[in-house]
Amino acid sequence: MPQTPLLFTPGPLMTSERVKTAMLRDWGPRDPDFAALEASIRARLVDLAGGTGSHVAVPMSGSGNLAVEAMVGSFVPREGKLLILINGVYGRRAIAMCDYAGRAYATFEMPFDTAPDPIEIDTRLAADPGISHVLLVDCETTTGILNPLHAIAGVVAARGRGLLVDSMCGFGALPIDVRTSPVDALAASPTKCLESVPGLCFVIVRESALRKCQGNAPAVNLDLYDQWRSLEQDGCWRFTAPTHVVAALGAALDELEVEGGIAGRMRRYARTSRSIIDGFRAMGFETVLDSERQAPMIVSFRAPCARRFDLDRFHAGLLREGVLISPGKLDDVPSFRVACMGQVGEAEVRYLLAAVQQTITAMGIERCAKR
């Protein structure tokens, strides 16, 4: 039994000793060492996206949604319009962000197991010249579906519009290269595939596009342009920097490098998700998505139709065994989610699978029958 629950959750997640230890130092405001650390972290984030020379990283305090909201509010001008691509709850959340910011939007919504079709996006952009930007979630954490960033980026660029990406669940593990997949802005967080602690978020932006964003933001705290100007001027955040969290991210980036960068991390997640999917299937569970659409960062499973199976009891039973998974987010399909990100290895996966078997056995279920 682990001392604290093993986290198979999409952030916060299990972090390494090195990441936790990095937070032991107190940094004062305007400490030149901190400014240097900050600058190197920003450069490394841009490099991971292939944006060195064209893009800059703008960190902000807050959880990942703040980065998405700051991106939408800072990039879509008052007279602009956002086309929101939706196949899960994270895409849908951008509607509220536009409403609060007073930005016009159109939605292109599809079923949770269907990826947006680039040809259909092209048609919609051609039909509505008022659309200035498109928002894509590259991996929808609702199901773990992989959306075709590269193809969509090509279509949006060819129509002369700006692409905004919520890459929260992808950044750090999904290959991304803004040189070949043109992106105006990409919002991400250290608490997913970068495997660091919560407290900050960041947006990787095309500098030439950001320069046109002065005065766009609907709130002082969401102003990416202003934060960028402050960082460029003296290396300081506008407001109190989450120093410990920044230091933790630095350590997390060191570890990513040791693991072989994005490709290395992706290989580990692919192994982890394979073991998890195989193990759950052997107990009779079914994934929500077909394998070819499934990204390895998070897997959504259907609640089995066995009469004795109860989702609340399932979550509670697992927690008693010392394992935390994530509730499902689908309206019509009772489900749960297992994240493969974070410092979880083969031993933790074996523990998880044994805990699941234990929990369903305690419910009186032999094996979850196929529907």
Ligand X SMILES: *Cc1c(COP(=O)(O)O)cnc(C)c1O
Binding piece for ligand X, criterion CB under 6 A, among 115-123, 162-170, 227-235, 239-247: 162-170
Structural tokens at position 261: 């960068």
Give just the sign of the alpha carbon dihedral 124, 126, 127, 130: positive
CB atoms within 10 A of CB 101: 20
Choice between 146 and 365, CB closer to ligand X: 146
Find the shortest distance in angstroms from Cβ 142 to ligand X: 8
Find the shortest distance in angstroms from Cβ 67 to ligand X: 8
Numbers of helices and strands, H then E, in the chain: 12, 14
Binding piece for ligand X, criterion CB under 6 A, among 63-71, 216-224, 249-257, 308-316: 63-71
| 299 is a site residue for ligand X (CB under 6 A) | no
Kind of pairing between the strands at 323-324 and 6-7: parallel
The binder of ligand X chosen from 56, 68, 146, 323 (CB under 6 A): 68
The binder of ligand X chosen from 65, 221, 275, 343 (CB under 6 A): 65
| 90 is a site residue for ligand X (CB under 6 A) | yes
Backbone conformation region of residue 275, classed left if phi is above 0, alpha if psi is from -120 to 50, else beta: alpha
Site string for ligand X, 8-27 (x = CB under 6 A): --xx----------------
- Measure the CA–CA gap between 44 and 256, rounded to whole angstroms: 11
Backbone φ, ψ for residue 98 (5° rounding): -65, -40
| 166 is a site residue for ligand X (CB under 6 A) | yes
Structural tokens at position 345: 């290895």
Q: Are 112 and 142 in contact (CB under 8 A)?
A: yes
| 168 is a site residue for ligand X (CB under 6 A) | yes
Residue 140 host element (H or E): strand 139-140
Find the shortest distance in angstroms from Cβ 354 to ligand X: 28
| 146 is a site residue for ligand X (CB under 6 A) | no
**Where does this chain bind ligand X (CB under 6 A)?**
10-11, 63-65, 68, 90, 137, 141, 166, 168-169, 189
